[in-house]
Amino acid sequence: MSNIITRFPPSPTGYLHVGGARTGLFNWLYARHTGGKFVLRIEDTDVRRSTRASVDAIFEALEWMGIEWDDGPYFQSKRFDIYKEYVRKLLDSGRAYYCDCTPEQVEEMRKRGMAAGGKAKYDGACREKGLSAGENRVVRFKAPLTGATVLEDAVKGNIVFQNAELDDFILERSDGAPTYNFVVVVDDITMGINTIIRGDDHVSNTPKQIQLYKALGADLPTFAHVPMVLGKDKARLSKRHGAMSVTEYQKMGYLPDALINYLVRLGWSHGDQEFFHRNELIEKFSLDHIGKSAGVFDPDKLLALNAEHIQAAPAASLIPHLTPFLKAMGIAAEDQEYLSKVIETLKPRSKTLLEMAEAALFYYTDEIVYEEKAARKFLKPDVLDPLNLLVTQLEGLNDFSEKELEGAFLRVMDTTGLKLGKIAQPVRVALTGKTASPGIFEIVEILGKERVIARLTAAARFIEEKS
């Protein structure tokens, strides 16, 4: 029923950073929420700075996040004919003209304006010259000199710009290439984009674009300028603020849903709710709860949210996300059922998938390396008897269920007079090499009789050799 069409227009001059991903997300969510369309457009008119590698990086990041587009990707570099055609239209209708002022001359005008009253703009020297096409000539837009242009912004409200503040900006460079403000408008018109959600660093471009829409006789889209994402020091996001690319978060073991949840919540709210599943976001997202002020990117909160998403996810759904990390550690983890059990025990103690993979190691290797401190503290001669006793008890068990295991431990406690804590720690070190791990019964059950007994006796041997 809806005919909302949004778009995401990254320029391929580097990786996709979290700020850009957020505006992409807003557009995607809004399209999904309204049942509309989401268009991907690559803004690569700056041939010098655009690279194929960046394009691929952007695709990869979007794919990982699960943001799929319905139309495109369009490449502006392949649409020059269309831009030419629109320049022609403007020239023919008298809304654009050729200008032969040199960059130096224009720069001079700006300096003068800056010195005089603060208005740094082209003075319209060639406006009425009636110049035709030629070497070193640019095409400028003949902007209205008086009156005002109003931006009716869906998040910021009405913003009024005096036309006298704006100048006759360039539509087509002297080398024939179109400029940003122009191509954006032509693209948005020809692609049917009717809802533009973008960073508010674009507000000052908007009046120019609105004038272009009008000069071209096109309907205005809905504009929604969302506040920017800032770094901890409240300055614009940059590499010195730490990990900023979407791909980095992927590599650090974040779940795409967690990143999405965090990014959307940064600047948008739904009452007090902090945790959202992807579908909930689609269901609840709307333009009218986007905040007006800039937000600081907080890695701690993202990490906490990631932990929450890990906990909330069924083990089976975590498998595809965790497997690459396991593989990187040389763990094949082919048995899905086993992996599921492993994940279940690790979920509440893993804030990232990377942590989870590292914590899973002892489930997959038989060469347990004892942490030095752990061994010194817990693998001492006095636990030799309890350990051997436990082995005997365990050997007698057919069923390694938690209940049976508890019984076995209880009997060892009985005969030795030791508390569970005294026994559990040495066993934990014997089984995992570490002093921290999932519950002792859980890991014994998952590891299974054979491996548990092997590791226990190995620990006993270790103690004997030491003393």
Which residue numbers are catalytic?
239
Residue placing its CB nearer to RNA in the complex, 202 or 251: 202
| 117 binds RNA per the rule CB under 7 A | yes
Using CB under 7 A, pick the residue from 82, 131, 159, 191 that binds RNA.
Answer: 159
The label of the residue with tokens 């609105």 reads 210
CB of 285 to RNA, least distance (A): 13
Question: With contacts defined by CB under 7 A, how many residues of the chain interact with RNA?
Answer: 88
Contacts (CB under 7 A) with RNA, residues 315-374: 348-349
Q: What is the CA radius of gyration of the chain?
A: 32
Residue placing its CB nearer to RNA in the complex, 425 or 457: 425
Distance in angstroms (rounded) separating the CA atoms of residues 353 and 323: 9
| 417 binds RNA per the rule CB under 7 A | no
CB of 160 to RNA, least distance (A): 7
Using CB under 7 A, pick the residue from 69, 441, 447, 452 that binds RNA.
Answer: 441
CB of 350 to RNA, least distance (A): 7
Q: Of 214-222, 387-395, 415-423, 457-465, which segment contacts RNA by CB under 7 A?
A: 415-423
| 79 binds RNA per the rule CB under 7 A | no
Count of CB atoms situated within 10 Å of the CB of 136: 11
Residue placing its CB nearer to RNA in the complex, 221 or 426: 426
Q: Of 31-39, 288-296, 328-336, 380-388, which segment contacts RNA by CB under 7 A?
A: 288-296
DSSP of 79-121? -HHHHHHHHHHHHHTTSEEEE---HHHHHHHHHHHHHHTS---
CB of 200 to RNA, least distance (A): 6
Contacts (CB under 7 A) with RNA, residues 161-190: 161-162, 165, 169-170, 173-175, 177, 179-181
| 223 binds RNA per the rule CB under 7 A | no
CA distances (Å), 310 to each of 269, 315, 321, in order?
22, 9, 10
Using CB under 7 A, pick the residue from 5, 138, 375, 456 that binds RNA.
Answer: 138
Amino acid at position 277, single letter: H
Residue placing its CB nearer to RNA in the complex, 146 or 467: 146
| 439 binds RNA per the rule CB under 7 A | yes
| 120 binds RNA per the rule CB under 7 A | yes
| 424 binds RNA per the rule CB under 7 A | yes
Helical (H) or strand (E) element with 310: helix 299-312
Judge contact between 38 and 70, C-beta under 8 A: yes
Using CB under 7 A, pick the residue from 308, 371, 385, 404 that binds RNA.
Answer: 308
CB of 466 to RNA, least distance (A): 22
Using CB under 7 A, pick the residue from 53, 133, 220, 235 that binds RNA.
Answer: 235
| 271 binds RNA per the rule CB under 7 A | yes
| 236 binds RNA per the rule CB under 7 A | yes
Judge contact between 74 and 5, C-beta under 8 A: no
CA distances (Å), 238 to each of 42, 230, 297, 465, in order?
22, 9, 11, 55
Judge contact between 126 and 100, C-beta under 8 A: yes
Using CB under 7 A, pick the residue from 435, 451, 457, 458 that binds RNA.
Answer: 435
CA distances (Å), 434 to each of 175, 308, 409, 446, 455, in order?
66, 25, 20, 17, 13
Using CB under 7 A, pick the residue from 2, 3, 93, 204 that binds RNA.
Answer: 204
Residue placing its CB nearer to RNA in the complex, 166 or 326: 166
DSSP of 174-232? TTSPBPHHHHHHHHHHHTT--EEEEEGGGTTTHHHHHHHHHHTTPPPPEEEEEPPEE-T
Amino acid at position 213, single letter: Y
Q: Of 62-70, 79-87, 115-123, 240-248, which segment contacts RNA by CB under 7 A?
A: 115-123
Using CB under 7 A, pick the residue from 7, 79, 241, 428 that binds RNA.
Answer: 428
Distance in angstroms (rounded) separating the CA atoms of residues 138 and 130: 13
| 191 binds RNA per the rule CB under 7 A | no
CB of 388 to RNA, least distance (A): 19
CA atoms within 13 A on the CB side of 299: 13
CB of 156 to RNA, least distance (A): 5
| 122 binds RNA per the rule CB under 7 A | yes
Amino acid at position 87, single letter: V
| 157 binds RNA per the rule CB under 7 A | yes
Residue 145 is classified by DSSP as S
Amino acid at position 108, single letter: E
Distance in angstroms (rounded) separating the CA atoms of residues 420 and 405: 12
Q: Of 31-39, 153-161, 361-369, 455-463, which segment contacts RNA by CB under 7 A?
A: 153-161
Q: Of 89-97, 248-256, 259-267, 384-392, which segment contacts RNA by CB under 7 A?
A: 259-267
Using CB under 7 A, pick the residue from 55, 125, 319, 420 that binds RNA.
Answer: 420
Sign for the pseudo-dihedral over CA of 281, 287, 290, 293: positive
Distance in angstroms (rounded) separating the CA atoms of residues 23 and 266: 11
